[in-house]
Amino acid sequence: MRTPLRRRVIAGALFAAVLVPAAASAHEDAVVIRTYDASGLPEADLDAALAAAFAILEDAGVPVARLSCDQPDEAARLHPCRAPLAPHELSLRLVRLPPDGIGPVTLGYSLVETPVGFGSLATVYVDRVARLAAAARVDVPTVLGRAIAHEIGHLLLGTNAHARAGVMRAVWSPEAVRASTPRDWRFTTRDTTALRDGARRRTSHPVQTSGADLVARHRPFW
């Protein structure tokens, strides 16, 4: 998504890193989101933002679970963050990057391999979201949560398309952020159906739930 002016970019690429769903055990069909926070956001704000994002996704019928990979124990060779991503896992990076020029800026992007409708890496620029939140006079976790839900939405929908309404709108102005209602930040009925299908395609794959199995099958590459 973006603030008015510049078109956001979604590249056709696929990122694979490390993995396993400790958190996924709570929801067998959950999409696991690995979080990598390099933004320095206060932990309470990060937790609140993720809670807001997950609420939007779960409101659309997509159960999600978090796997924090910010500080994987280097001594723990079987740490789930050290295994390759499974089909039901996504990576979320939270970083800081100043506005690139005057006027509207890109708030985040997702790498989606559009020919096959699949993507696993989403990035959100926390400082840009914070500027938008300040301009809209809305708290940062609320706006950040919406931005995260938007980018995760791209990954699950497998497309760079945007909607005219709801959280998948392309352009977010301070006025719209300030004046909108919670309904304006949910997935539309049409997107909800596609979102559930996308999540089901991922979670229907046979998934390893043992860190030992995963490490045995996929040797760490560092």
**CB closer to Zn ion, 20 vs 168:** 168
Q: How far is Cα 110 from Cα 197, in angstroms, rounded to an integer?
A: 19
112 binds Zn ion, rule: CB under 5 A: no
Distance set, CA 1 to CA 63, 141, 153 (Å): 23, 16, 11
| Nearest alpha carbon to residue 207 among 63, 32, 54 | 32
- Provide CB contacts within 8 A for 200, sequence distance 6+: 29
> CB 123 → Zn ion: shortest distance, Å?
12
**CB closer to Zn ion, 159 vs 203:** 159
**CB closer to Zn ion, 83 vs 90:** 90
Element (H, E) at 110: strand 108-113
Residues in the interface with Zn ion (CB under 5 A) total: 1
**CB closer to Zn ion, 1 vs 214:** 1
| Nearest alpha carbon to residue 53 among 10, 1, 105 | 1
Window contacting Zn ion (CB under 5 A); options: 1-9, 20-28, 37-45, 202-210: 1-9
> CB 113 → Zn ion: shortest distance, Å?
16
Please identify the residue of the shown chain whose CB is closest to the bound Zn ion: 1
**CB closer to Zn ion, 22 vs 95:** 95
Q: How far is Cα 176 from Cα 178, in angstroms, rounded to an integer?
A: 5
**CB closer to Zn ion, 8 vs 34:** 8
> CB 25 → Zn ion: shortest distance, Å?
31
> CB 8 → Zn ion: shortest distance, Å?
6
Q: How far is Cα 133 from Cα 192, in angstroms, rounded to an integer?
A: 26
> CB 131 → Zn ion: shortest distance, Å?
18
> CB 108 → Zn ion: shortest distance, Å?
8
129 binds Zn ion, rule: CB under 5 A: no
Q: Would strands 108-113 and 89-95 be described as parallel, antiparallel, or unpaired?
A: unpaired
144 binds Zn ion, rule: CB under 5 A: no
1 binds Zn ion, rule: CB under 5 A: yes
Where would I find the H helices in the chain? 43-59, 126-136, 140-157, 174-179, 189-203, 211-217
Residues at the site binding Zn ion, with contacts judged by CB under 5 A: 1
